[in-house]
Structure 1
Amino acid sequence: MDKLTKSPRLNSLLHNMGIFTPYDVINRLPRRYDNYAYTKERKLADKERIVLLGKVVSLPRIVPAKGVTIITFDFLTVKITYFKVIFFNQGYLAKTLKIDETYSLIGTYDSDRNEINGRRIYKGEIPKEEALKPVYTLPKSYSHHLYVGLVKRSLKQLKGKIFSLVPYHYLNKYHLINKEVALNWAHQPKDQESIRQALRHLKYEEALLFSLQNQLIKQNNQSLKKIKKEAIDFSLCAPLVAALPYNLTADQISVSEEIIEDMNQSGLMYRLLQGDVGTGKTIVSFIALYANFLRGDQGALMAPTDALARQHYANGKKVFKDTKVRLALLLGSTPISEKKRLKSAIRDGDIDLIIGTHSLFTKDTNYASLGLVVIDEQHRFGVNQRIALANKGDHADLLMMSATPIPRSLALTIFGDLDISTLYTFPSQKRDVVTKIFPSDSPKIFAATDYALQHDKQVYVIAPLIDFSEDGRFSTEQLYERFALRYENKVGLLHGKMKQKEKEEVLKKYYDGNIKILVSTQVVEVGIDVKNANTMIIFDATHFGLASLHQLRGRIGRDGSRGYCLLITNDEEAEKLDILTKSEDGFAIAEADMKQRGPGELTGVKQSGIPDFAFLNIIDDYKIFVVARDDAAEILQQADHKAYQWIVKRANNLINYKITKKA
């Protein structure tokens, strides 16, 4: 592994960002470009952004102020206009700025005080061809100018070693520039057109490779045939449906019929069942598993966490209590002797439906007749792992579930290897959750907690990290101390590094109401159903995707009472959370989530359901996906052609790597 810098601290920060090599550095694009072309300096509007060239004409002075460092000085532009300038929390300027030296000043104009609020100041004149400056998303403790230097070194180090996967025919067809030039222009643009041309190549290459992987997986799926099965009909599930304590929605009935019809086909079922939080996906999967049982096959339901697997097991016991379905629960934490007994029973066909986590698909777990695999929160296992799972049985049908619903046309683009069923309607009235945005020092945080406790309700407090981090993000460790100090003996801690027994004890106390406040990571996003919890406080909310935040707030207000979700952030881009304060529509939120994604995103937490791309934005670049999808199909028709062998081999290698890594 390359040491990208001489600093162990910076190398650690880079590794936390997923950056290990110079290639990783250059493939992480700026999230935006600031234009430092010089602007007018007369007739300025209040808060207008300005870029001026001139000289510092007074000694920088530190103004005493509580809790903030203020630097002021006078600035004379080359056009002989005087401005008073004020900088906040950049005390080093008092030592570095020199009188009569030429500087480029960037700031905003304050018309009331007739002064400039400084943002940045650079020594010397900014050449016209360097006016567009890249802005990277970085941890707070990683200086921007140091990262820009790393990018420049990486580009220099890789000179002559950067090659495109795009076949020459398509490079020529779409007039795409050389990939090495594209990456240089993306990081060091001369103008807006150079950025556009750079992104055309990088986005198309990524879309083409992604489309090839999807279509290769689909080809593999279509080549697999299951042994002839007894045809089943939804009507045979009528006794199970009639015994439910509620009526199915029209959506649930039609989707169940659609899934069972697909199970009757000779080819393997590869289907995505998507629907917003609360649309009733789980009961649809149980109906499919029951139909699978009626045709004489075993079923497996895999969840990403022990908590969700236990919840499915508890629900399954209720749903199947009056049937002959034999259920079992298999987890990583299951005692060895019990695991051995369960695996023997699975192999001998003495268990009809096994619910669990990754343990369901270890090498020593073998099935007598596996007919249907259901994967909940399918994105957490990796899309391409599905091939490996299918091979556990005699080519079992696969049903994936996702609580991040996206429009059908987009879903077909993203999950091109799957058929798609969607639940739109809610079985009961949608939950009433009020969502607001506050800074981390807001008194509303403890006020909301106090209000919940006074009304005998429970609270979730969510952090993006487990341990303290230098990048300034909150951790469960910090928040547990903060809340435990104020609410003695009422706070519990939950995160992925805890032992299973410790997690179970904390969760039981929270379920039983003995703990009123649960400080946790995103682990509570799925699988925890505490109906008395009506308040959720999410710190560093901009470090979660919108879809994940929507999933998280789906944990509260489950008893019909009003829920309160507080999104806590000090981020200057807090406005990207606004849609959550206005909408509870999972489709709209997922679409907004995808629209916000793009080059240079620093994702603090794994997102829900939506693939992460280095260069592409699923919404804005939809047409590129469509073109790339058609080109991928054309390439696969001539996959043995010399010109296409490299990119097809690369796509196959990526598929196999992901299967090996995640299986």
Structure 2
Amino acid sequence: MNSLDKNIQFVKGIGPKKATKLNKLNIFTIKDLLYYFPRSYEDRSNIKKIWQLEHDEKACTKGIISEVKSYEAKNKIKVTKFTLRDETGFLNVVFFNQDYLTKVFKKGDSVIVYGKIKREGGFLEMNSPQIEHFTNAQTSTGKLIPIYPLTYGVTNKDIINTIKNIYTNEKVSIQEYLPKDIINKYKLCSIDFAVKNLHMPQDKQSLKIALYRMIFEEFLILQIGLFYFKSGIDNSEGIKFEKKEKLNDIIKSLPFNLTNAQSRALNEVIDDMVSENMMNRLVQGDVGSGKTIVAVLVLALSVLNGYQGALMAPTEILARQHYESLTQTLAPFDINIDLLVGSLTKKQKEKVLEKIKNHETDILIGTHALIEDNVEFDNLGVVVTDEQHRFGVRQRAKLSTKGNNPDILVMTATPIPRTLALILYGDLDISIIDELPPGRQPIDTRAFESKKRDFIYSNFVRDEIEKGRQVYIVCPLVEESEAIEAKAAEDLRDELKEKYFSDLNVEVLHGKMKPSLKDKIMEDFKNNKIQILVSTTVIEVGVNVPNATLMIIENAERFGLAQLHQLRGRVGRGSHKSHCILIYSSKTNVCKERMEIMEETNDGFKISEKDLEIRGPGEFFGTRQHGIPELKVGNIFKHIKILKLAQEESKFILKQDRNLEKSEHILLKQEIVEKFSSINKEISLN
């Protein structure tokens, strides 16, 4: 009997208490643990002579214990010291409050140690290292050692020993789910070999072979799943729109000229629309680059062809802003626009739903309310999704099912590195708006330690207010709940009002407020009735106040770089010079590096590349939020060549077998369903 589904608590050395701690790492069965891969490896296979050891390096060495000392230091800490010798020199190995070690290791024992070297007064020393008797079966030294992500009460050694016990005492056999022709084509090892050597590599070459197999497999499953669940690999037959002269009239009526980048993106979209194939295009551009007008013109072309259009935004504030923008631009051309959001009354909703069904509404704008079952379009031609990464796979797919193969345009103001776009949007053509409209000035960004906070509020803020400008202050990101974030914002408003700005109108904006109150506050801020707006990240997208010229972000180290850049983009929207001040408390090198990046560049693409590099693709968007399975070993920076191979193979597979119905694809299909359904329970392959 294969024991992969066996409860982890019944594995030798675990038991109920340790199992509870492993459960925190989502490890419940033997299979869960086998697929809990190391985050890195330490090469302890290079055993150095003592004379080769250098100050501050981590190293592995072996020797004979020539002396054992145990004593109590002045601070009552018990010190245990072993002196190791080999033919080249001596090394002191020191442990604190571990005097039991004198019963385990004796004078004359041959031992191997791994740790950080210190040179103190001419003597070499290693504090609290890994130490084992030198045999042919070390578990923590003398070999490649896997390093696992841990939780309180679970050590790296616990996991290493448990996996060793599993392979010693259990019947472990993982069924191969990749087709034989793929394994042969890409010279992949078996899944059994890969999993075992990721945990217990025989040598560096075995680890390399195992990693290649798992990385390729992860990318392949991810790409097939994304191609399948989104829009498929083939360009399905779509609506063949016609170019309309009236669209040029709308463009001429705009109070500004399109930039070259906007015109290029618009032409790429129109070329897709007039073709026979269904459009799947991503338009991405930096903060303030003017993506919205492209969406407006695309929706207008759909209406001019006799179809309806839909625009889905992640927040009500952004949906309302789109509604105002489209109404202002398109109403003079007899295009009817409606808004469908959660805050409408039942009667208002019913009226909008009736108008959509009867084609009295040409363009419907809204939040995820657009994908509810009672929303019926008469003739949907184009679907636009704004801030694409904020919607799950199922949500995005469901909107497009409300028409007969409508064209799909997705937009994001979060510049996505091309490498990540390959994964997330492998089935979409990509247009990039990489040019800011005339008059947009770069935002001067400066980072200050929190000890300068008083100086910032007393000087920078006062200076801007006295010039007649307005200020955003973003309160620290609090992850626990929206309610706690709301409280944090209110507390910050009260503190600032009391300590610095008793003479000014300081207001607060957060996600727990009623939409009507949010709208009133934003309207008052736009009209300069409020000088300082303290806000949570609710203002990250969709707020446009040209007179706001200063953005202060408290505890900036708690935000991702891409989010800091998004927040910063709320200023610099008018003709006045704008500034962003980042206040941080952390003293880590990563924090310093991130603050320097924000000071150095206003280029969202450079920032997002760096953000992805620092945090990895999982955290960049939040894989669960985005609807993609987690990459456990694959890294799109290091493994871009493997990613491209897997992407081509996934297209080839689906071209031959669209529904993965061939016998050689059945097990692969099951694996894909399992990986994706763990993210989004409501999707399944037909």
1:243 maps to: 253
Q: Which amino acid aligns with 1:94?
A: N
- Judging changes above 3 Å, is the alpha-carbon distance between structure 1 residues 376 and 10 closer, same or farther for their aligned structure 2 residues? farther
Secondary structure, aligned partner of 1:266 = coil
RMSD (Å), alpha carbons: 4.5
Taking the aligned partners of 2:154 and 2:620, their CA distance within structure 1 comes to: 18
Taking the aligned partners of 1:303 and 1:598, their CA distance within structure 2 comes to: 26
Taking the aligned partners of 1:181 and 1:205, their CA distance within structure 2 comes to: 14
Taking the aligned partners of 1:502 and 1:164, their CA distance within structure 2 comes to: 57
Q: How does 1:133-148 map onto structure 2 within 5 Å? A: 133-137=145-149, 143-145=154-156, 148=159
Which of 348, 361, 371 aligns to 1:361? It is 371
Taking the aligned partners of 1:19 and 1:419, their CA distance within structure 2 comes to: 39
1:94 maps to: 97
Taking the aligned partners of 2:187 and 2:511, their CA distance within structure 1 comes to: 48
Secondary structure, aligned partner of 1:613 = coil
Contact (CA 8 Å) 1:404, 1:609: kept in 2 or not?
no
Q: How does 1:15-164 map onto structure 2 within 5 Å? A: 23-37=31-45, 38-39=47-48, 41-42=50-51, 46-51=55-60, 57-59=69-71, 61=73, 63=75, 74-79=81-86, 81=90, 83=92, 93-94=96-97, 98-99=101-102, 102=105, 104=113, 106-109=115-118, 118=127, 121-122=130-131, 126=138, 131-137=143-149, 143-145=154-156, 148=159, 152=163, 160=172, 162-164=174-176
Runs (5+) with no aligned partner, structure 2:
10-14, 106-110, 466-470
Taking the aligned partners of 1:318 and 1:188, their CA distance within structure 2 comes to: 64
Contact (CA 8 Å) 2:612, 2:620: kept in 1 or not?
no
Q: Which amino acid aligns with 1:381?
A: F
State the TM-score, normalizing by the size of structure 2: 0.77
Taking the aligned partners of 1:588 and 1:610, their CA distance within structure 2 comes to: 25
Taking the aligned partners of 1:208 and 1:270, their CA distance within structure 2 comes to: 21
Give the superposition deviation at 1:290: 1.6
> Deviation string for 1:313-353 (max 9, x for gaps)?
23333333533222222112322221111111211222222
2:224 maps to: 212
For this pair of structures, how many residues does the alignment match? 635
Contact (CA 8 Å) 2:234, 2:655: kept in 1 or not?
no
> Deviation string for 1:436-472 (max 9, x for gaps)?
486xxx424565455544334332133251359xxxx
> Deviation string for 1:243-299 (max 9, x for gaps)?
333221011112112212221222221111112222211111111112222222221
Q: How does 1:588-599 map onto structure 2 within 5 Å? A: 588-596=606-614
Q: Which amino acid aligns with 2:35?
A: N
Contact (CA 8 Å) 1:377, 1:609: kept in 2 or not?
no
Which of 202, 205, 222 aligns to 2:214? It is 202
- Mapped pair 1:179 → 2:200: no
Give the superposition deviation at 1:185: 2.2
Taking the aligned partners of 1:435 and 1:327, their CA distance within structure 2 comes to: 42
- Judging changes above 3 Å, is the alpha-carbon distance between structure 1 residues 365 and 47 closer, same or farther for their aligned structure 2 residues? same
Taking the aligned partners of 2:517 and 2:158, their CA distance within structure 1 comes to: 40
Secondary structure, aligned partner of 1:661 = coil
- Judging changes above 3 Å, is the alpha-carbon distance between structure 1 residues 657 and 482 closer, same or farther for their aligned structure 2 residues? closer
Taking the aligned partners of 1:2 and 1:503, their CA distance within structure 2 comes to: 52
Secondary structure, aligned partner of 1:59 = strand
Taking the aligned partners of 2:535 and 2:6, their CA distance within structure 1 comes to: 37
1:434 maps to: 445
Contact (CA 8 Å) 1:594, 1:618: kept in 2 or not?
no
1:376 maps to: 386
- Judging changes above 3 Å, is the alpha-carbon distance between structure 1 residues 57 and 445 closer, same or farther for their aligned structure 2 residues? farther
Taking the aligned partners of 1:625 and 1:433, their CA distance within structure 2 comes to: 38
Report which stretch shifted further, 262-271 or 583-592: 583-592
- Mapped pair 1:295 → 2:309: no
Secondary structure, aligned partner of 2:332 = coil
Report which stretch shifted further, 257-266 or 526-535: 526-535
> Deviation string for 1:403-427 (max 9, x for gaps)?
3445657645642221221111111
- Judging changes above 3 Å, is the alpha-carbon distance between structure 1 residues 116 and 563 closer, same or farther for their aligned structure 2 residues? farther
Taking the aligned partners of 2:260 and 2:494, their CA distance within structure 1 comes to: 50
> Deviation string for 1:155-186 (max 9, x for gaps)?
66985353343212222333322223322322
> Deviation string for 1:56-80 (max 9, x for gaps)?
634363749xxxxx98765523446
Report which stretch shifted further, 288-297 or 588-597: 588-597
Give the superposition deviation at 1:360: 0.7
- Judging changes above 3 Å, is the alpha-carbon distance between structure 1 residues 3 and 586 closer, same or farther for their aligned structure 2 residues? farther
Q: Equivalent pairs: percent with the same residue?
A: 28
Q: Which amino acid aligns with 1:35?
A: D
Q: Which amino acid aligns with 1:202?
A: M
Secondary structure, aligned partner of 2:42 = strand
Report which stretch shifted further, 529-538 or 389-398: 529-538
Give the superposition deviation at 1:548: 4.0
Taking the aligned partners of 2:90 and 2:54, their CA distance within structure 1 comes to: 16
Taking the aligned partners of 1:374 and 1:213, their CA distance within structure 2 comes to: 22
- Mapped pair 1:626 → 2:634: no
Report which stretch shifted further, 46-55 or 177-186: 46-55
Give the superposition deviation at 1:49: 3.2
Contact (CA 8 Å) 1:271, 1:400: kept in 2 or not?
yes
- Mapped pair 1:587 → 2:605: yes
Q: Which amino acid aligns with 2:84?
A: T
Which of 444, 448, 451 aligns to 1:443? It is 451
- Judging changes above 3 Å, is the alpha-carbon distance between structure 1 residues 337 and 482 closer, same or farther for their aligned structure 2 residues? closer
1:534 maps to: 551
Give the superposition deviation at 1:108: 4.6
- Judging changes above 3 Å, is the alpha-carbon distance between structure 1 residues 276 and 228 closer, same or farther for their aligned structure 2 residues? closer
Secondary structure, aligned partner of 1:134 = strand
Contact (CA 8 Å) 2:443, 2:580: kept in 1 or not?
yes
1:255 maps to: 265
Q: Which amino acid aligns with 1:212?
A: I
Report which stretch shifted further, 379-388 or 176-185: 379-388
Report which stretch shifted further, 412-421 or 643-652: 643-652
Q: Which amino acid aligns with 1:47?
A: D
Contact (CA 8 Å) 2:22, 2:28: kept in 1 or not?
no
- Higher Cα radius of gyration: 2
Which of 332, 337, 353 aligns to 1:343? It is 353
Contact (CA 8 Å) 1:216, 1:652: kept in 2 or not?
no
Contact (CA 8 Å) 2:394, 2:682: kept in 1 or not?
no
Runs (5+) with no aligned partner, structure 1:
65-69, 88-92, 469-474
Report which stretch shifted further, 201-210 or 171-180: 171-180
Report which stretch shifted further, 608-617 or 362-371: 608-617
